[in-house]
Structure 1
Amino acid sequence: MKHMKKWLAALAMLTLFGAAHAADAVLGPGDVLKISVYGSPDLATDTRVSDAGTITFPLLGPVEVNGLTASGAESKISSLLESGGFVRKPQVNILITQIQNQQVSVIGQINRPGRYPIEGKRTVLDMLAVAGGISADGGDTVALIRKRNGTTTREVIDIIGMVRSGELSSNIEVSANDVLYVERAPRFYIYGEVQRPGPFRLERAMTVLQALSAGGGLTPRGTERGLTIKRRDANGKQQVIDAKQDDLVQNDDVVYIKESLF
């Protein structure tokens, strides 16, 4: 998992420095724009896209930009200025200083949870990287929650498995208003005659012997004979299971190390 954190941190740097040009962003209500026209400083303006999807521009009045990319809005304003006889062959430049309508929420066990704008095409891994990666308490999976045509769906993506295998088909492209949620990593508990009793992160395919090692091993009075696991079944009822060293530990298991009688 530590290698994964380093990988996500590196990806974050690549994402920040190699981000798509703002011209790829689709404009919508709430976006704040800084517009300039080369050679016409009196036309420079800072404006916000209204709820109706329009901006107010000098000489032109309301201009609908909703759904256009920044470059598309540049072309539209340029065409309107020229067709209106205001500026000959105008060179319009739009800088998006604040993106509000195209954002994804990245929450849960994340180093920098929050809402982040989508500039160009962005995938699940891109957004995790922008948000600083999964925190030390985060699990290996992320839930992608999205609403389409009035229906909300939830898809769980195995981040670690995807990266280890190199199979990136689950690295889905995100859209505006999607939510990425990283849950706390699964844990197990160990107590009794063990050096460091307490809760520990449950690694994949972790055995009882590995769990004992995470707890620092046996105390001088401990024994590996008669290991037990307290585990809740599907109905929430607690069971006590006689465990072997190579048995797999499950989420929220409580491993008990008995005292040796000899």
Structure 2
Amino acid sequence: MVPVFRIAFTAAFEIAVRSFAIGVLLGWSLPAGVHAADDYVLGPGDTVKISVFDYPDLTTEARISESGRITFPLIGSVAIAGMNPAEAEKLIARELSDQDFIRQPHVTLMVTQFASQQVTIIGLVNKPGKYPLEKASTTLSELLAMAGGVAPEGGDKAVLVRSSANGAKRNRIEIDLYGLFEGDVSKDMEVKAGDIIYVPRAEVFYVYGEVQRPGMFPLQRNMNVAQAISISGGLTPRGTDRWVKVKRRNSQGEIQTETVELGDMVRPDDVIYVRESWF
């Protein structure tokens, strides 16, 4: 049985992926000549292709150095890190004009490789890896859409690891994906270059004894014992839902066996045992 959360989650991602198909997703798959968003901030490691209208000999592809500079014909070294593409175009055009090389040049800059502004997403997503931030503001939901959504085994929470401004400390932020895709936009936080997003495996529980399909199952939010038995296929003809036992760890980590009611909540890693009816 597919959890309701997973159905809604997948549907949300399908919509998001369609909206990205022409822009971000196809742009990411192109090997060269990719137009960055107007607010993308150029940085060391990015590769750019610069051309000047009517001057094909000046077409240059260069990687921005660690000092934030590129070398362009006629004008030499130019610092463009920290600018968006439009600002870099204006700077190069101004230099060509001010140094009396070209009167009123029309300069075009394209980012062919995004390397300076990247986010890493790992764990239970369909396409883990590094993704470029092609605009100044990218949200978690947009990043997850780029990664193809959460895999069927993925949980309904994510962990964001972010380094402090000086890099001395790493902060860990837990994000409620269930709440996000239920419509709580406050949880759709903005991701930043260098962030690591981890989607862990979903929490699970186990059912054995007199049920149709004993085994391990993903734990849904606010699931009770009756629902857990239903997910495992329900009772066999010999089973009873009375005196259901569960093995679980206490706060000291010790495994204890308890008798539970059908309305009791299931906890992560619970082992539920359904007894055989005596009558």
Give the structure-2-normalised TM-score. 0.90
Equivalence for 2:49: 34
Aligned residues: 261
Q: Secondary structure at the match of 2:265?
A: coil
Pick one of 85, 102, 113 that aligns with 2:100: 85
Q: Deviations over 1:220-254 (max 9, x none)?
A: 22111110110012221101110111111011100
Partner deviation per Cα, 1:123-178 (whole Å, 9 max, x = no partner): 111101111111111111111110113221111111221332x2311211111001
**Structure 1 residue 28: Cα displacement:** 0.9
Alignment of 1:26-175 (within 5 A): 26-120=41-135, 121-149=137-165, 150-164=168-182, 166-175=183-192
User: Structure 2: any 5+ residue segments left out of the alignment?
Assistant: 1-5, 25-34
Specify the code of the residue in structure 1 equivalent to 2:141: L
SS at match of 1:169: helix
Q: Aligned partners of 1:74 and 1:110: how far apart in 2?
A: 37
CA shift, 1:189, in A, is: 0.3
Percent of counterpart pairs with the same letter? 44
Cα RMSD between the aligned structures? Answer: 1.3
- TM superposition outliers: structure 1 runs of 4+ over 6 Å: none
Match of 2:206 in 1: 189
CA distance in 1, matches of 2:258, 2:158: 31
- 8 Å Cα contact 2:125/2:149 also seen in 1: yes
Instruction: Say which is worse superposed, 97-106 or 12-21, in terms of deviation.
Output: 12-21
Indicate the residue corresponding to 2:13 in structure 1.
8
Q: Do 1:16 and 1:130's aligned partners in 2 also have CA atoms closer than 8 Å?
A: no
- C-alpha deviation, 1:16, in angstroms: 3.9
1:238: which partner in 2?
255
Q: Quick check: 1:227–1:255 contact (8 Å CA) kept in 2?
A: yes
Contact 2:97–2:104 at 8 Å: present in 1 too? Answer: yes
Which of 239, 244, 249 is residue 227 of structure 1 equivalent to?
Answer: 244
CA distance in 1, matches of 2:195, 2:254: 36
- Distance in 1 (CA, whole Å) between partners of 2:130 and 2:214 is 38
Contact residue 119 and residue 194 of structure 2 kept, 8 A: yes
| Unpaired runs of at least 5, structure 1 | none
SS of the residue 1:42 aligns to: strand
* Cα distance in 2 for residues equivalent to 1:16 and 1:62: 37
Q: In structure 1, give the amino acid aligned to 2:18.
A: M
- In structure 2, the residue matched to 1:22 is 37
Name the SS for the 1:128 alignment partner.
Answer: helix
Question: Is the Cα contact below 8 Å between 2:50 and 2:108 reproduced in 1?
Answer: yes
Equivalent residues of 1:34, 1:45 under 8 A apart: yes
Report the Cα offset of residue 21 of structure 1. 4.6
Residue type at the aligned position of 2:44:
P
Answer yes or no: is the 8 Å Cα contact 2:124–2:150 preserved in 1. yes
Give 1:3 deviation, angstroms: 1.9
SS of 2:111 mapped into structure 1:
strand
Residue identity matched to 1:81: L
Query: How far, CA to CA, are the matches of 1:173 and 1:228 in structure 2?
Result: 44
Q: Which whole-Å CA distance do the structure 1 matches of 2:159 and 2:118 have between them?
A: 17
Q: Is the 8 A contact 2:43 2:64 kept in 1?
A: yes
Secondary structure of the structure 2 residue equivalent to 1:22: coil
Q: Is the 8 A contact 2:51 2:59 kept in 1?
A: yes
